[in-house]
A and B are shown apart, each in its own frame.
Chain A
Amino acid sequence: MEQVGQRKIDGLWLTVVGIAVLFFLILPTLIVIPMSFSGASFLEFPPTSFSFRWYAAYFTSPEWMSATKTSLIAAVMTTAIATPLGSLCAYGLHCSAPRIRNIAQIFVIMPIVVPVILIAVGVFSLYAKLGLNYTLTGIVIAHTALALPFVIVTVMSGLQNYDFDQELAARSLGASRAYALWTITVPQVKFSIQTGAFLAFITSLDEVVISMLVSGGDNATITRRMFNSLRDQLDPTIAAISTCLIFVSISALVIISIFNRNQKNKDQL
């Protein structure tokens, strides 16, 4: 009896700590939402009045809109390039000998481990030679390099749970390797690919450090502009933009999980 009681107390402890951790993780994110609806002309919490004026300021400003467009285009293009490229890379690694795979994995993880500021400096100096600084192409290439590891790692873990004999079976039944990959393997790691795509999109959309150095002028990303604006004046427009970004990220996440849920239901029928 005593033990059961002890376990209950332990359980309570865990719950309390768990909730506290969640709270501290989410709070800074959530605090920005009420601030964005403030009527005051400076960032204040809690807000004393309510208005949409900072949303209006955001959506009517040509500079903010241009930066938003740059960021969205960069994120979409990064996703469009990193997803197929990373998926194929994961497939290739999955098929190669364990020794090669292990070595390659170190290189794949590298961009995640190396401090981004180092990558940013490197990319900036290289782009200076290539004339890619302040161009959309430059941003997309750099963001793709950052996003690739996420796609590769998620798709590789998806492939781990997939019975690869199925692809061999398809090929023995007459399918070329590409056709077998497309009709048998891809449908079964679809969720991993979608998750990878989502991570690639968010990686690009959220990226600040490289964008600070490499983007600019007409091709400044929204994160760069936000950062600069924070430095100049504390403008609640930032809160409104942040709220929009949170909304976009969460929507993408929700869409992905709905996709996944439908897929699972279909498989269980």
Chain B
Amino acid sequence: MSSTAQSLPIEISSLCKAYGPIKALDDVSLNIAAGEFLTLLGPSGSGKTTLLMALAGFVRPDGGSIRFGDQEMIATPPHKRGLGMVFQSYALFPFMTVAENVAYPLKIRGVSKSDQKTRVERVLDTVELGGYGDRRITQLSGGQRQRVALARAMVFEPRIILMDEPLSALDKKLREHMQIELKALHQKLDATVVYVTHDQREALTMSDRIAVVNHGRIEQIDTPERLYRQPHSFFVADFIGESISLPVTVANDTAQLGGRVLKSDLAIAPGSGGHRLVIRPELLEVMSGPVPENANDFSGRVNDIIYQGDSVLVIVEHKSVGMINVRVPANRAGQTGLPSKGEQIGLALHPEDTIIVPEQVS
């Protein structure tokens, strides 16, 4: 899109919002870079929508500050914030055609009729709905409605776009397709995107950075990869990806599991309430020979083997810690041959994959 507008950074500091005893936002501070795709990820009721609505101006925070660029927004009414917003329900106007829906923000801004027409057509082309302008909303499929909502939110070239679970009403296949498309679209647009989802896979796919929200607080904000490989807390480790966890004792920056020292390259994040070792099934290596000296040894006896299409899940019984899941890609399993039930196998957890997290962030 041609663009006179430039994306804006967002600066949120010490934002608070309480609903009675519930702290929906508990002292949230967050800086979002201009042009960034930032996702708010968290379980139901964690405060994602509340934060987004505070950015949009529909929720009045009890305290704190929100800045777009260098402008304080906390007292600005929603219609003067210049945001594009996509709702979970799409919130399309059912008594208007597709083109009328998309033209609504232009009409308000006093854009001339002919300009409206060309801009509506252009943005409908961008979302691959060229020629759908005269349709009624009721005549569209879920995916098409989603695109109309998107077109309507970006037709006036907002510098910030907010989306609250925009894909959750679509089926899995369409959702995955739209994730890729949205990401590509973001690269074309010059806009900062704040995206809300409770689907960790969606967050990992789309985001430049992810802010993990829990109980109205931001537990960690990082790139998808760092979030996955170096979670700062048990909550983050548990919420993102698959894992099992084991309680460990930590003293002088070294962790011990059942009396054995765990070798880890990763820093142990500060926190309280004890620590846990997080083992992701895909990070364990099945060794054909003995487990190397520098790795953590989780060898055990194969209890079960479950074929899952793209991968094979091997369930290993370790004599002191119990069951451990190991994921082996299906093609590798095919090459090297799978262990058989009852067989004793070597399992290595390498120091760079040994994740030790506190129960709670401090």
Contact = CB atoms under 8 A, between A and B. Distances in A.
A179 B88 CA distance: 23
B108 A173 contact: yes
Contacts of B162: 172
Nearest to B152: A173
A176 B79 contact: yes
Contacts of B56: 168, 172
Contacts, number: 71
B87 A174 contact: no
A172 B84 contact: yes
A172 B85 contact: yes
B91 interface: yes
B79 A171 contact: yes
Contacts of A20: none
B14 interface: no
B94 A188 contact: yes
A174 B91 contact: no
B127 to A, nearest CB: 16
B85 A267 contact: no
B95 A168 contact: no
Interface in A176-217: 176-177, 179-180, 184, 187-188
A165 interface: yes
B58 A268 contact: no
B138 interface: yes
A76 to B, nearest CB: 28
B138 A268 contact: yes
B94 A267 contact: yes
A168 B87 contact: yes
B104 A170 contact: yes
B228 interface: no
B31 interface: no
Interface string B156-184: 10000010000000000000000000000
Nearest to B81: A172
Nearest to B164: A165
B108 A165 contact: no
Contact of A269 (B83, B87, B136): B136
Contacts of A31: none
B138 to A, nearest CB: 7
A175 interface: yes
B104 A267 contact: no
A170 B84 CA distance: 10
Given A173-B104, A174-B105, A168 B91 contact: yes
Contacts of B78: 168, 171-172
B89 interface: yes
Contacts of B89: 163, 165
Nearest to A269: B136
Contact of B85 (A169, A268, A269): A169
20 contacts: A163-B89, A165-B87, A165-B88, A165-B91, A166-B91, A168-B78, A169-B91, A170-B93, A171-B58, A172-B58, A172-B85, A172-B153, A173-B79, A173-B152, A173-B153, A174-B108, A174-B156, A176-B79, A177-B77, A267-B136
